[in-house]
Amino acid sequence: MLRYLVLLLALFSFLGAETVTIPTMNFALSAPDTPQQLVSSLNVLVVLTLLFLAPSMVLVMTTFTRFVIVFGFLRQALGTQQVPPTQLLVMLAMILTFFVMEPVGTKAYENGVKPYIAEEIGYEEAFDRTTLPFKNFMIRNTREKDLALFFRIRKMENPQTVAEVPLSIVIPAFVISELKTAFEIGFLLFLPFLVIDMVVASILMSMGMMMLPPVMISLPFKILVFVLIDGWNLLIGNLIASIK
């Protein structure tokens, strides 16, 4: 970077520029003079924090967790090591997450963000309206047992309405519900491929070929079965159908 800067300054000198003005930046921090300045600074800090945490919010407030874990189980069940590659599975999970969450995001934008941009509602009301569709989605896909767990930990009374459930309880309950659902689907994925592995291993044992790894023989058959049943279509269709 320094080399390019030196070359740029030399170019200015070569072109006959007698004076080159280098801009300066001031990073000095000063105390706010009025409460309004303090509120503005805090709002900027909140926005920057939200942007920094946005990727994490995608993981814990959407179906991304379910998709990426199931795809990982599928690759392990097939025994294909790094095929499909991790980057491709993550991108596929992101695309499916966007597909599933698009109606929720659109509703949140129309109810909260759009009126706030038009200065029709305040910041707190905009936040409540924006998070409500996501909260409703997460509660629909969260087990009551998981919600009750975090209410017991907080020693709070059971809520009567969705509005009484705070995000600090909905999010962790939703995450562990998604993990449980993903592991259940992963178990069902393993069963047919496990049967193929056991059949191949039994055949090799009966033929006295104990030194030959069963995975080398069963892998082509597992891929063939997955292709014949149109596995990707079947898996993704059932994954999306499992979302409420």
- Compute the distance between CA of residue 68 and CA of residue 236 in angstroms, rounded to an integer: 12
Tell me which of 112 and 64 has the higher pLDDT: 64
**Which of 45-54, 81-90, 140-149, 213-222 shows the lowest per-residue confidence on average (mean pLDDT)?**
45-54
Which run of H or of E encompasses 132?
helix 123-140
Q: For residue 21, what pLDDT is reported?
A: 52
131 touches 108 (CB < 8 A): yes
Extract the tokens encoding 105: 């995001």
Q: State the chain's mean pLDDT as an integer.
A: 75
Mean pLDDT: which of 22-26, 85-89, 129-133, 201-205 is highest? 85-89
Distance of alpha carbon 181 from alpha carbon 198, whole angstroms: 26
Query: What are 30's two structure tokens?
Result: 């000063």
**pLDDT the model gives residue 148:** 82
Average pLDDT over residues 76-82: 80
Cα gap 70→86, rounded to integer Å: 12
Question: Is this structure's pTM higher than 0.85?
Answer: no
